[in-house]
Structure 1
């Protein structure tokens, strides 16, 4: 992995990246960095792991006086991923093909139970309806196969931060976004799943990355 000032990152060969922006203490989402590293190892996709605590500079927020430099470094690396895959032409900001961004976060067991996952899309603003349907159906099926008692919910408590939608639709003239082919999901994983079923989670998400690449991005 390459080291930036606020993140470490690796380029990949799939039309997808996974990240863990809250991986560093204090107030870390424990084990999310290990999940991202595991997915990268299994799939060869790109990835980003935050090396700054959210208490200093929160990467999962729009840029502001406390996190401006960190957020722009994070966004610049995403742009580098897209250029390296040939998804952006010279002078263009709209992606040529569908792209998947999976943000791995951690939530407490008390929110939905110890074997739960919540996916945030800001009620569909961060992704297309087609990809949202596919992602939901595929994730639920694979999670049920790996851990039958686990459950997956969408947009209930952790619906996602508006900064996630900015990658798709933009955020003023300084960050125009990448258009309708950018699909982002904030995946909140309960503590018990992260700690005691980490390999199952890595396997499920790695399969999703691989299937997305085959179904949506090689057409």
Structure 2
């Protein structure tokens, strides 16, 4: 992996990246870095792991006092990923094909229980309707293969931060966004699943990334 001031990252060979922006202590989403590293290793997708604590500079927020430099480093690397895929024509900011961004986060075993995953899309603002429908169907199917006891919830408690939508729709002139083909999901995984069932979680999201390539990335 390459190392920046606030993140470490690697390029991939798919139209997808996964990240764990809250991987650094204190107040880390524990084990999210291991999950992201596992998905990268199995899929060859690009990835980002935060190396700065959210108490110092939160990468999952819009840029502002205290986190401006960190957020722009993070956004710059995402831009490099997109150019590396060839999805952006020279001088263009709009993606030619669908792209998938999975943000791996950690939540407590409450409010949904120890076997739960909540997906935040800010009620559909971070992704297309088609890709959201696909993501839900594939994720639930893969989860059922592991355990019928795991609940998958969308946009109920952890709906996602508005910074996630900025990759799609932009945030003023300084960050115009990449258009309707950018699809981002904030995935909150319960502590029990992260701590005791990491291999299964890695396999589940490995399958999701692979299915995305089959469904949306044919040349």
TM bracket (short chain) = over 0.9
Alignment-derived partner of residue 88 in structure 1? 88
Give deviations 1:88-112, integer Å, cap 9, x for gaps: 1111000011000000000000110
* Cα distance in 1 for residues equivalent to 2:11 and 2:186: 20
Alignment-derived partner of residue 154 in structure 1? 154
Q: TM-score, normalised by structure 1?
A: 0.99
Q: How many residues align?
A: 219
| Partner SS for 1:66 | coil
State yes or no: 1:209 paired with 2:209.
yes
> 1:138, CA displacement in angstroms?
0.6
> 1:2, CA displacement in angstroms?
0.3
> 1:65, CA displacement in angstroms?
1.1
Alignment-derived partner of residue 41 in structure 1? 41
**Contact 1:29/1:105 (8 A) holds in 2:** yes
Alignment-derived partner of residue 98 in structure 1? 98
1:3-82 to 2 correspondence within 5 Å? 3-82=3-82
State yes or no: 1:134 paired with 2:152.
no
* Cα distance in 1 for residues equivalent to 2:201 and 2:193: 8
* Cα distance in 1 for residues equivalent to 2:80 and 2:213: 18
| Partner SS for 1:158 | coil
**Contact 1:144/1:151 (8 A) holds in 2:** no
* Cα distance in 1 for residues equivalent to 2:123 and 2:49: 26
* Cα distance in 1 for residues equivalent to 2:69 and 2:40: 26
| Partner SS for 1:112 | coil
Give deviations 1:39-74, integer Å, cap 9, x for gaps: 000000000000000000000000001100000000
Alignment-derived partner of residue 179 in structure 1? 179
* Cα distance in 2 for residues equivalent to 1:53 and 1:88: 32
* Cα distance in 1 for residues equivalent to 2:169 and 2:76: 16
Where in structure 1 do 4 or more consecutive aligned residues deviate above 6 Å?
none
Q: How much is the aligned-residue C-alpha RMSD, in angstroms?
A: 0.5
> 1:144, CA displacement in angstroms?
1.2
Q: TM-score, normalised by structure 2?
A: 0.99
> 1:218, CA displacement in angstroms?
1.5
* Cα distance in 1 for residues equivalent to 2:120 and 2:110: 17
| Partner SS for 2:165 | helix
* Cα distance in 1 for residues equivalent to 2:98 and 2:13: 14
